[in-house]
Structure 1
């Protein structure tokens, strides 16, 4: 269960049921579908989630997500000891993530697309 939460929480682990603001405050505001793929370790092999970016801040209902997307598309996210970073441009993006499952390190890549 913890393995699954780490993956989904990152791209919470990249936000379900929250509407995008009518007037976006940053160029990347909106709903994003994020898919993570584990390349090393025992975390969930693959997981997808929907995240919300509002005024450049990343959130997901029911998840303790801290993250942001800068004006140039730089993504930085942390959740429960797992971290991700990368770049988005236009309506897509990608990057790397790392965390742990039962104390065993795991890592991989993520891809996102704006809905």
Structure 2
């Protein structure tokens, strides 16, 4: 098997190399919003978190997102449930299928209420 790497840009300007096949993406959450009705918008920010790929009830891979929220994980082809553990936030689970020689983008937006 030949490993292939690609670069992903981040909000912080750095690049993350990730293997193919696999997944990559960004974990984000909204900052605490100002008073309801305020003109100041809520802004999203990257979230440092642990990202796990679950296959057949087993952890098949683990990655840690950087402070910009960027992560990447090499995985064998197959279907996975992506689970994010980020303190004080609730992050939805995502189901993704990774094909042979495919890198799939999986961005996850977390809520600030857990």
Q: TM-score range by the shorter chain?
A: 0.3 to 0.5
TM-score (norm 1): 0.35
Instruction: Compare the two structures and name the one with the higher helix fraction.
Output: 1
